[in-house]
Copies of this chain bind each other. A is one copy, B any other.
Amino acid sequence: MVTIADVARHAGVAPSTVSYVLTGRRSISPATRARVEASVRALGYHPHAGARSLASNRAGVLALVLPMREGMHVPVLMQFVVAVANAARGHEHDVLLVTADQGAAGLRRVAGSAQVDGLLVMDVEMHDERVPVLRELDRPSVLIGYPADAAGLTCVDLDFAEAGARCVDHLADLGHRYVALVGAPRAVYQRDTGFAHRTMAGFSAAAMRRGISSTTLPTGTDHGSVRSAVAGLLERHPAVTGLVVHNEAALPSVLEALRATGRKVPDDVAVVAICPDEQAERLAPRLTSVRVPAEQLGHRAVELLMAKLARVAVPPLTLLPPRLVERSSTARRCD
């Protein structure tokens, strides 16, 4: 292995000088800088990560705590992971994967062993056992999603309440008087997940505000159950003309189910989805949707974490504003 001493010898300087060239923490004459950089390249020097972390008390690694539970839409999750990895690389950091099934102990382990400088935690529940642990850790963290008690934490999320409301407003503006929310699987609500609750709350509140009728139903992800759920909904509430779908995995089946009952989109029933743009583009018809900005969320989460690492103050809660994009699954309603 090539060490900093080897580079120093090769360049004819002290090891500390090499270090200062590399970290830029002290001024270095252009001549020396050039000589050292040449030696680094000539020898193919990479600083030893362990030694660096020991001496500098910085690991150059962020922990990303993955959720692995029922009802999460995997492609969205993956977009997020990749966005985080890229953003982290932009700040000279790598990403260590921690699976959620390691629970709070996993957080303690990676933080306690100084393996990571900070933590990103996804899919936080309203009452999450990991939240108190994060508070007591000596390392900064950023949550994606936010728990009931977010005091002392830094959270990022899409403003799901506003997203639900936007969908209703859009439908109401188009003349719909009765709308339904086709939501996440029941399990997601049962385990008290913030984003599902908030969407529902925003949806219902907006319907009240606009004075239109609304109903909601949780939905599974397999074709059969989605189909029968949608059919049941339309049977019980035949006046429903607008659907808000917050369940990425069920989207194709929802459209199929509408087709099967002979309803045309958007003429008989309008559909607004909360899902990533690519998915909205890929289905037929192309869906009016509020995008889930996984990429942005990941990016922002890393920015916030880096700021905390640099001891810069950050807002406790960052809610990204939802953006609704109109496509072919909604149209003005002429009653």
**Residue ranges of A at the interface with B (Cβ–Cβ < 8 Å):** 1, 44, 46-54, 59, 61, 64, 66, 68, 74-75, 77-78, 81-82, 85-86, 89, 94-99, 101-102, 108-110, 112-115, 221-224, 227, 252, 256, 281-284
What chain B residues lie within 8 Å of A113 (beta carbons)? 46-49
Q: B97 contacts A95, CB within 8 Å?
A: yes
Q: Which residues of B contact A52 (CB under 8 A)?
A: 50
The majority secondary structure among interface residues of chain A is: helix
Residue from B46, B59, B97 within 8 A of A109 (CB atoms): B46
Do residues A81 and B97 form an inter-chain contact, with CB atoms below 8 A? yes
B59 touches A49 (CB 8 A): yes
Determine if A223 and B283 form an interchain contact, defined as CB atoms under 8 angstroms apart.
yes
Q: For the complex formed by this chain, how many copies does it contain in all?
A: 2
Verify A49–B114 contact, CB threshold 8 A. Answer: yes
The chain B residue with its CB closest to the CB of A1 is B114
**Among A49, A51, A95, A227: residue with most chain B CB under 10 A:** A49
- Within 8 Å by CB of A75, from B53, B74, B86, B222, lies B74
Q: Taking the nearest CB of chain B, how far is it from the CB of A93, in angstroms?
A: 11
Most buried by B among A48, A66, A95: A48
Residues of chain B lying within 8 A (CB to CB) of residue A86: 99, 101
Known contacts A48-B114, A223-B282, A82 near B68 by CB under 8 Å = yes
Interchain nearest-CB distance for A283 vs B (Å)? 6
Complex: A94 Cα to B48 Cα, angstroms:
18
In the bound complex, do residue B49 and residue A115 qualify as a contact, i.e. CB atoms below 8 Å apart?
yes
Cα–Cα, bound, A284→B253 (Å): 10
Q: Is the CB of B99 within 8 A of A85?
A: yes
